[in-house]
Amino acid sequence: MEYRIYLAIGTFFIYSVLGWIIEELFAAFRYGRFINRGFLNGPVCPVYGISMYVVLNVLSDFGMHPVWQIIGAVGIVTLIEYITGALMYKVTGRRLWDYRDMPYNLNGYICFTYSVMWGVMAVIAMWLFQPPIYIFLHLIPRGVFRALVWGVGIIFIMDFVVTMAASLKIKFKGGPVTEVANRVGDVRRNAGKQIFDMVQHRMYTSFPELKNQEPSEERGFGWVREKTFATGMCLEKLIWMFLVSGFVGDFVETVYMLTTTGRIMSRSSLLYIPFSLVWGMGGALITGVLYTLKERNNFYIFLGGFFFGGVFEYTCSALTELVFGTIFWDYSHIPFNLNGRINLLFCFVWGFLAIFWVKVLYPAVSRQIEKIPPVSGMVLTYIIMFVMILAVLISALALGRYVQRKRHPVRQEVIGEFLDKQYPDSMIEKVYPYMKIVK
């Protein structure tokens, strides 16, 4: 019980720091200059830490439907944000944030747009950030972790006392408390400046024309004129084709299962996102490989899709069996199959899909991708890929633990118990209904 308190405090500080980083990144992109965000001197935004602590303790039940988790998170963060904003205004006479110019706001402390955004972000953090944070905290030796919590906690309290005293116009006559608060403030300014410099460097590298524009609160770093996002065949275009292919593939397979079995069944590769990694990687690779054939006869594109699709599907099946000891599809019952991993019929399907993709779907999707504003496109690409990487890692951890449970008795260490509780057999089997474990 005692150590759980340390874990709760550690989790609070981690999300408070992550919240501050989010605020700094947002300010850098939004205003094009360095701004010290947050109320305290230190690099923390406690409202994020408090909100996530409540969300994790109230909504982390794996049996709760995701829609209810999102609705609950929106309600929790909205209530905490309103109380915090109103209380700080009452105590200090200042608004730490002001939504009075936003539609559907309440006294400027909360508004519909940001409430929904913070709620969705809280649930995403619960799904994708909390598992690695939990594992990381349990990898730290307990004695070291206790010392860290005490040290950070004392500094946090000193910072809070000095900041509140300044807000209430209570003057400290120097002393260690003020000295600590000042040093913490220096840490925040230096860290915030480095975050801004990183963003500025990335912006100027990607969009050199912004160097000649003066940043402003209305335009941030400036406007990128006469430049198209992800033009031609480039890494950003392939990343977006990966995303589109993965979501479309999951939808196609779900519809196929509905028409053949009469049931809606999950065909996703990931626990929390309806996304097919096989379709996503296949779409991106076929785009990159067959892009040069777009002007050629359909027969050549068909051959490319036929052979490349077959090799790719076989490789994916073999790798998942090698890494996880599982099989996600089995074509042994279909004529002209090769080890149950591929079959002649589906190779023909890959060939015809390649023609449709290269000639019809890719040009249409490519035009829509290139309409995305350049700066927004770059930022979205990084955010989406970061989320996807976390989703893949967490799904792999949960799947690996599931296979361990099924094969032989597992050790009940802390991390294993967390994975067992967070991702029980019922959840794994619902997401991967056709998965077979290789004995």
309 and 345 part of one domain: yes
Can you tell me the distance from the alpha carbon of 181 to that of 176, in angstroms, rounded to the nearest whole number?
9
Give the torsion sign (CA, 229, 235, 241, 243): negative
Q: Is residue 267 part of a domain?
A: yes
305 and 385 part of one domain: yes
Q: Is residue 230 part of a domain?
A: no
405 and 312 part of one domain: yes
Q: What is the pLDDT of residues 157-205, one digit of tens each?
A: 888 877 777 666 555 555 665 666 667 667 667 776 776 677 666 666 6
207 and 246 part of one domain: no
Hey, what are 322's tokens? Answer: 């090698």
The alpha carbon of residue 45 and the mean position of all alpha carbons in its chain are separated, in whole angstroms, by: 20
Q: Is residue 385 part of a domain?
A: yes
Provide the domain count of the chain.
2
Q: From first to last of its 439 residues, what are the pLDDT tens digits of the chain? A: 578 899 999 999 999 999 988 888 877 776 666 666 667 778 888 999 999 999 998 887 656 678 888 999 999 999 999 998 888 888 777 787 888 888 888 888 999 999 999 999 999 999 999 999 998 898 888 899 999 999 999 888 888 877 777 666 555 555 665 666 667 667 667 776 776 677 666 666 655 655 566 665 555 555 566 577 878 888 889 999 999 999 999 998 899 888 888 888 888 999 888 999 989 998 888 888 888 777 788 888 899 889 988 998 999 889 888 888 888 888 888 898 888 899 999 899 889 988 988 888 888 988 999 888 877 788 888 888 899 999 999 999 999 889 888 887 777 777 888 888 888 888 898 889 888 888 6
| Angle CA 106–108–111, to nearest 5 | 55
Q: Is residue 229 part of a domain?
A: no
206 and 245 part of one domain: no
Whole-number Cα distances in Å, 268 to 126, 223, 247: 20, 39, 9
320 and 431 part of one domain: yes
Query: What is the domain extent for residue 414?
Result: 235-437
93 and 131 part of one domain: yes
109 and 184 part of one domain: yes
**Domain boundary at 181, 212, 243, which?**
212
Q: Is residue 226 part of a domain?
A: no
Residue 375, amino acid: V
Residue 189, amino acid: R
Can you tell me the distance from the alpha carbon of 125 to that of 60, in angstroms, rounded to the nearest whole number?
11
Backbone φ and ψ for 436, nearest 5 degrees, come out as -125, 140
Supply the angle between the helices 362-369 and 235-261 in degrees, to the nearest 10.
130
Q: What is the pLDDT of residues 290-341, one digit of tens each?
A: 887 777 888 888 998 899 889 989 998 898 888 888 888 888 888 988 888 9
What confidence score (pLDDT) does residue 62 get? 55
What confidence score (pLDDT) does residue 308 get? 86
Number of residues that this document lists for the chain: 439
CA neighbor of 192 nearest in space, from 313, 41, 341, 354: 41
244 and 389 part of one domain: yes
What confidence score (pLDDT) does residue 244 get? 92
**Domain boundary at 212, 227, 254, which?**
212
